[in-house]
């Protein structure tokens, strides 16, 4: 189950006090000068947007994203039912990803059963373009606070093949259910401290254990699984590259990334060690697609700027798929705590919504940052297109 992020004591954002009048005039003048400079440089033409929405509004009929999108909406049949409801809320958006988690309390539940898989399999089989994503724990008692010395022993046992039969059973159930092409997010967030399937106590044994599991599941006739290696963003307990088990047993390089430290800004989240840029470069060097199985809001509350930037990043990087965690405090549909971020997500995900184009540079000034409390979360943006000299 994905409910493992500790809730911060306070997630609300503090309103910054208004700047003194002279300082406001100075910052306004500076912001205007910067924008004017951007407009003049290179003889650029510009169209501007001033409002709360997700950046500049391009012409009507702009194309939608080609990235497969979805949300985690619940583990069982309720999660399947909500996909259609979310799609309606988004104005008919093409939600092609169904995402759920196997419980990690017992081996019997990790093996799954036809009853649990049936609604997901029926949803997947109804459309060949759909993608079924299943998070699979590598250990029972996965959220039981098992100490490092015991985790170390369990990893060693897994590397020797003690648990192979559980994963062969799971693979057989998936094939029998008619979802042999499931994306398996195996041992997610292994670089952290939360799960019994964590890597840091013995990275060598962890990698060997991953390889055993993939070998066991691939041994089942009829399978076409893809295995997604998905650490959490940042270093956490160990650099996630130290846990990477090998190109031959990894098909997708994912990352779970919430709006929380490490990093104070979205640029920090991109550029920090083991951050979003590191993931993209690491995958590109291996010819692997990327994914974002889990992402969403968190410690900074209703952060519309994060929502804009993360959706921009997804559109730019073109992952195989992404699924937002749609429950509080992370979500946008079923969480009333995040109305501004919800508006951004809804606007950007609806059919025909605008997406930033690489060939039209955008320059934005965060008005709330430069001009105190006057403009809240609004931005002034210009989209540049280069004019041909006569």
Tokens of 384: 């540049």
Beta bridge partner(s), residue 298: none
pTM for the complete prediction?
Answer: 0.77
**Residue 363 near residue 38 (C-beta atoms within 8 A):** yes
| φ/ψ of residue 348, rounded to 5 | -75, -25
Residues of the chain with pLDDT below 70 are 1-65, 353-390
Q: Is 8 helix (H, G, I), strand (E, B) or coil?
A: coil
Picking from 52, 91, 55, 51, the residue whose alpha carbon sits closest to that of residue 308 is 55
The C-alpha atoms of residue 301 and residue 342 are separated, in whole angstroms, by: 12
Q: Is the dihedral of CA 371, 38, 378, 309 positive or negative?
A: negative
Sheet containing 44-51, strands listed edge to edge, beginning at the edge strand earlier in sequence: 44-51, 379-386, 362-366
The C-alpha atoms of residue 231 and residue 227 are separated, in whole angstroms, by: 13
Q: Is the dihedral of CA 8, 10, 13, 15 positive or negative?
A: negative
- Tokens 């094939």 belong to 175
User: Burial code of 296-310, b = ≥16 C-beta within 10 A, e = fewer?
Assistant: bbbbbbbbbbbbbbb
């Amino acid at each position: 189950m994905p409910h493992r992020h500790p809730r911060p004591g306070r997630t609300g954002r503090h309103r910054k006090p208004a700047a003194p009048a002279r300082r406001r005039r100075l910052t306004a003048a500076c912001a205007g000068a910067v924008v004017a400079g951007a407009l003049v440089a290179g003889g650029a033409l510009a169209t501007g947007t001033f409002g709360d929405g997700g950046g500049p509004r391009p012409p009507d009929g702009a194309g939608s994203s080609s990235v497969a999108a979805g949300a985690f909406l619940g583990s069982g049949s309720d999660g399947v039912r909500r996909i259609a409801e979310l799609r309606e809320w988004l104005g008919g958006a093409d939600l092609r990803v169904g995402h759920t988690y196997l419980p990690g309390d017992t081996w019997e539940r990790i093996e799954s059963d036809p009853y649990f898989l049936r609604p997901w399999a029926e949803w997947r089989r109804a459309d060949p373009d759909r993608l079924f994503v299943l998070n699979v724990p590598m250990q029972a008692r996965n959220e039981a606070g098992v100490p490092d010395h015991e985790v170390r022993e369990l990893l060693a046992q897994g590397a020797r093949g003690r648990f192979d039969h559980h994963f062969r059973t799971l693979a057989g159930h998936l094939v029998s259910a008619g979802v042999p092409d499931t994306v398996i997010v195996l041992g997610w967030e292994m670089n952290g401290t939360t799960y019994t399937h964590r890597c840091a106590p013995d990275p060598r044994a962890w990698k060997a254990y991953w390889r055993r599991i993939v070998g066991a599941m691939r041994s089942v006739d009829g399978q076409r699984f893809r295995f997604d290696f998905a650490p959490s963003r940042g270093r956490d307990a160990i650099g996630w590259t130290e846990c990477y088990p090998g190109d031959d047993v990894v098909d997708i390089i994912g990352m779970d990334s919430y709006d929380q430290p490490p990093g104070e800004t979205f640029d920090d989240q991109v550029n920090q060690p083991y951050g979003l840029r590191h993931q993209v470069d690491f995958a590109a060097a291996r010819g692997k697609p990327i994914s974002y199985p889990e992402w969403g809001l968190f410690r900074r509350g209703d952060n519309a700027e994060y929502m804009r930037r993360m959706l921009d990043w997804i559109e730019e990087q073109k992952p195989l798929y992404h699924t937002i965690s749609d429950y509080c405090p992370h979500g946008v549909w079923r969480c009333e705590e995040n109305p501004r971020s919800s508006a951004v997500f809804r606007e950007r995900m609806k059919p025909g919504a605008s997406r930033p184009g690489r060939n039209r540079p955008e320059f934005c000034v965060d008005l709330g940052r430069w001009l105190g409390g006057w403009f809240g979360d609004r931005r002034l943006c210009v989209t540049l297109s280069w004019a041909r000299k006569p």
